Structure 1
């Protein structure tokens, strides 16, 4: 069963400064951090490992992403992020969460 939530990247977030002045995009590390926080948020003391990530479309400051994730049979968590409202696929990947 897929779970979902919306992610928002504020234009004034400190990570946006200088990334990139003439063509601003949300840093991939910030997107991945938000994905891990959303997916692993309910696991107290757990650690997340990103096994794969593929950036497919730039995300601009102020844009919103629809995040969906699903736990696979092997325990890995598959995720994908689309620009809000059924837009372009921006990020896909898998992660694992170790539980204490």
Structure 2
């Protein structure tokens, strides 16, 4: 079951495109992970200190003006699973794990 979902249109002038890659811009994975972390912080109500990113797969590139849909759901060991889609295409997936007690 999806706990949180949010769409984001990638700005054509996003600063990451300057170096990734000129002439054929694609969204770097770190930008996608940053969006996931922001959503997870809103869902959990605060910083994710000590959380780990696990089993991340970048499956399909996306670029300027693409509309991406980020979804978070309950994951293993009290964590969160995430997926990113662009239309019918899965762009990325993975998990976030809280620190061990």
Q: Which structure features the higher share of helix residues?
A: 2
What secondary structure is seen at the aligned counterpart in 1 of 2:39?
A: helix
Q: Show the counterpart of 1:46.
A: 48
Unaligned runs of 5+ in 2: none
Partners of 2:15 and 2:70 in 1: how far apart? 22
- The CA deviation at 1:51 is 1.5
Question: Residue 21 and residue 95 in structure 1: after superposition, are their counterparts in 2 closer, same or farther (change >3 A)?
Answer: same
Deviations 1:8-41 (A, max 9, x none): 2211111111211121101111111011101222
Question: Residue 78 and residue 44 in structure 1: after superposition, are their counterparts in 2 closer, same or farther (change >3 A)?
Answer: same
Displaced runs of 4 or more, over 6 A: none
The number of residue pairs the alignment matches comes to 96
Q: Show the counterpart of 1:65.
A: 68
What secondary structure is seen at the aligned counterpart in 1 of 2:73?
A: strand
Instruction: Give TM-score scaled by structure 2 length.
Output: 0.83
Unaligned runs of 5+ in 1: none
Q: Let me know the Cα RMSD of the aligned residues.
A: 1.7
